[in-house]
Amino acid sequence: MADKLELRLDESPALRAPVLLAAFAGWGDGAVAGTGALQFLVGKHGARQLGEFDSDAVYQYTSARPVTRVTEDGARELIWPSLALYACPLPDSDRDVLILFGPEPDLRWRALADAVVDVAERCGVSDVVVLGSYWDRVSHLGQALLTGRTADAATRERIAALGLAESTYQGPTGFPSALLDACQRRGLVSVGVSARAPHYVQGITHPKLAHGLLQATERLYGLRLDVDALDQAGHEQERLLTERVQQEPKLWCYAQQLAAEAGQLSTLDDFASSTWQTIKADGAESAGPPSSAPSPVSAARTELPSGKDMVDAVEQFLRGDGQS
C-alpha cells in the first residue's frame, strides 16, 4: 500500500468555524473561474499560506508542467505546480475560510481527497465548497449562470432557494468529484458550485463568473468576502466584449440568441440593455451561430485580465473558425 498522503501545516490557524473553499484548474474548472475567484480572495484578504502538498506525489509533470522564468537579474527560476492551503480570516463575518487551490492533481486522487478531509477536520471545518466552471452554450451577456450539487438534503434546499440549477451531469469526471465523495463518506457537508462559461470566449479569465461563484458562497454561509472589485471587472469585461462582438454580426446575433435561450436577459446591465438589438448586415437580418465553435483553449492565467487582453482573445477567436 502506498504511503498515506499528509499535509503538514506550518502553523495551526485559530479560525472561527471555518468553511473550506477549494478549486482545481483543469477538468472541473475549464474557465478558471473557481481558481481565479480563490486567488482573488487570497490577494484581497492577505491570506497566509499554511502548507502545500508534495507536488512530486500528486502531479505528473508531463501533464502539469513546471514553468521556467527569467528573473530581472537574468537568472532562471523553476516554478513547480502547487496545491496550497491558505488561512483567510474574515473580520466582517462570523466565520473564517480556508482556501485550497492549484492545478487539478494527476495522481493518487483517493489518497489526496482523504488527506484534504483530514486537514479540514484538524482545522475545525464543518462545510466544504468546491468551486468550478465549464464551457457551455451560454452568453457573456447578462447574469452568470451557476449549477450546484450536494448529497446533503438541507444544503440542497438552500441551493435551490438561491436559484441555482441542480447539476444532472453523469459521465467522466475530475478530482472535484473525488473530493466531494470523500467528504460525503467522512460525514463532512460539502457542495459543488460551478459556473457556466460562454464557449465562444475562451483563453481569458471571467471575473463575472468568479463573482457569481463567490456571491453564491456568501449567501450559502452568511460570509462577507468583499467581492465588489470582481463585480466591477465583470461589467467592464462584458462592455468590452460586447463592443468587439458587435462588429461581427453573426457572432453578435449568436450571443443574443444564447442569452435568450438561457434566460440571461432579465438582469442585463444598462449598457447591455441599451445595445440589445438585432444587427443587420447589408440591409438584411443576420441570424444563426457562427459556422463552428472554437477549439477549447487552456486559460493558464488566473489574474484579472486587462481590457486589451480580453479584446485580443476575442480577436484571435474571430480570426479562426468562428470568423463570420
Kindly report the pTM of this predicted structure.
0.82
Domain membership of residue 10 (yes or no) is no
Question: Over the stretch 125-137, which tens digit does the pLDDT of each residue have?
Answer: 999 999 999 999 9
Domain membership of residue 7 (yes or no) is no
Asked if 162 and 247 sit in the same domain, the reply is: no
In this predicted structure, the answer to whether residue 11 has a pLDDT above a threshold of 90 is no
Q: Which of 197, 227, 257 is the last residue of a domain?
A: 227
Higher pLDDT, 317 or 191: 191
- Please report which confidence band the pLDDT of residue 292 belongs to, taking 50, 70 and 90 as the band edges: very low
From the number of C-beta atoms within 10 Å of its C-beta (0-12, 13-18, 19+), residue 230 rates as: buried
Domain membership of residue 288 (yes or no) is yes
Asked if 199 and 308 sit in the same domain, the reply is: no
Asked if 196 and 289 sit in the same domain, the reply is: no
Asked if 46 and 79 sit in the same domain, the reply is: yes
Supply φ then ψ for residue 84, to 5 degrees: -120, 155
Angle between helix 207-221 and 153-161 (nearest 10): 120
Mean pLDDT of 59-84: 93
Asked if 143 and 50 sit in the same domain, the reply is: yes
What pLDDT was estimated at residue 319?
A: 53
In this predicted structure, the answer to whether residue 272 has a pLDDT above a threshold of 50 is no
Q: Which residues contact 96 (CB under 8 A, 6 or more apart)?
A: 15, 16, 17, 18, 19, 87, 88, 89, 90
Asked if 113 and 196 sit in the same domain, the reply is: yes
Signed CA dihedral, 159, 164, 169, 175: sign only: negative
Q: Per-residue b/e over 240-276, b at no fewer than 16 CB within 10 Å? A: bbbebbeebbbbbbbbbbbbeebebbeebeeebeebe
CATH number at residue 141: 3.40.50.10900
Asked if 217 and 254 sit in the same domain, the reply is: no
Domain membership of residue 236 (yes or no) is yes
Mean pLDDT of 52-79: 94
3 state DSSP class of 314: helix
Q: Which domain holds residue 217?
A: 19-227
Higher pLDDT, 59 or 267: 59
- Please report which confidence band the pLDDT of residue 181 belongs to, taking 50, 70 and 90 as the band edges: very high
Asked if 167 and 29 sit in the same domain, the reply is: yes
Domain membership of residue 14 (yes or no) is no
Mean pLDDT of 231-246: 94
Q: Which of 227, 253, 268 is the last residue of a domain?
A: 227
In this predicted structure, the answer to whether residue 176 has a pLDDT above a threshold of 80 is yes
Q: Which of 205, 227, 249 is the last residue of a domain?
A: 227
Asked if 201 and 267 sit in the same domain, the reply is: no
Can you tell me which residue has the cell 443587420?
280
The rounded mean pLDDT for the chain is: 84
What total number of domains does the chain contain?
A: 2
Asked if 237 and 157 sit in the same domain, the reply is: no
49: β partners: 86
Domain membership of residue 176 (yes or no) is yes
What pLDDT was estimated at residue 315?
A: 52
Asked if 63 and 38 sit in the same domain, the reply is: yes
What pLDDT was estimated at residue 2?
A: 56
Domain membership of residue 46 (yes or no) is yes
Asked if 256 and 220 sit in the same domain, the reply is: no
- Please report which confidence band the pLDDT of residue 271 belongs to, taking 50, 70 and 90 as the band edges: very low
Domain membership of residue 179 (yes or no) is yes
